[in-house]
Amino acid sequence: MKRLLLAAAALFALVALAGAVGLPDLAGAQDADNESDFVTVTGVGSVESTPNESQMSFGVESRGVTAKAAIAANADAMRRVINALRQAGARELATQWVSVYPVSTADGGGIDGYSASNSVSAVTDADDAAALIDAAAEAGANQISGPGLSSRNVEELYRQALAEAVDQARERARVLANASGRGLGEISAVVEGGGSSPIPYAERAATDAAAMPIVPGEQETSATVTVTFDLR
């Protein structure tokens, strides 16, 4: 019986001591956890630029009584076109494809010779695209496609768009934090959402004395990021 009374007294003393020292404040601990809240926002950045590079293709189709004759005629014609392109300042010349096929007669009952085709791709400054087209056509090119206009510094443009996207995300996060009575902390996560290659944005007026006018216009390079900020 004495042992039971002593155990009960010790228990009451322990409870009294805990009351004097104070138990952990669960509400306060939860509030501290809330201080590590975060906000996640998406930002979009874009940069406008004028294309400075042009990609085109130039080809020749030749006819011959035999496949060999068509190929020989096509080879001579393509050599003239390639030389003309080089003299006009074309860069990165490369053969795209070569084809030879029989040409049917009007009634489809037989073969009326052969057709040989050869095409090369070339790159030049956007301002020189018209001159390149004229030079190739004058040399005998009868298959011309393009130009595909782009920017040589596309990677730099994309990095600029990324930076603008992060700035926009930061501003959006600041507005949300202020509206909720909190302060904006450091960035805890960034996810690149991808972007777009330069696309036509708006055409600008231009005049060209060449026979084939080329208007580069403007392009827009965009990037998207998702950023998570800590809240204070």
The 10s digit of each residue's pLDDT in 115-142 is: 999 999 999 998 889 899 999 999 999 9
Same domain, 57 and 141: yes
pLDDT band at 19 (very low <50, low <70, confident <90, very high): very low
In a domain, 108, yes or no: no
**Tell me, what's the pLDDT at 215?**
61
**Residue 54 near residue 130 (C-beta atoms within 8 A):** no
In a domain, 203, yes or no: yes
What is the 3 state secondary structure string of 120-185? Answer: EEEEEEHHHHHHHHHHHHHHCCCEEEEEEEECCCHHHHHHHHHHHHHHHHHHHHHHHHHHCCCCEE
In a domain, 25, yes or no: no
Contacts of 80 (CB under 8 A, 6+ apart): 139, 140
The size of the chain, in residues, is 232
Which stretch of 79-88, 129-138, 151-160 has the lowest confidence by average pLDDT? Answer: 151-160
Average pLDDT over residues 100-118: 90
Q: Write out the H or E segment, with its range, that includes residue 84.
A: helix 67-87
Q: What is the tens place of the pLDDT at every residue in 20-63?
A: 444 444 333 334 444 458 999 999 999 988 888 899 999 999 99
- The pTM of the whole model exceeds 0.75: no
With a cut of 90, say whether residue 107 has pLDDT above it: no
In a domain, 16, yes or no: no
Same domain, 125 and 180: no
Same domain, 143 and 204: no
Same domain, 40 and 124: no
Q: Write out the H or E segment, with its range, that includes residue 190.
A: strand 184-202
Same domain, 204 and 135: no
Q: What are phi and psi of 154, to 5 degrees?
A: -60, -35
Structural domain total, the chain: 2
Task: Output the domain CATH number for residue 122.
Answer: 3.30.70.100
Domain coverage including residue 82: 53-61+71-99+118-150
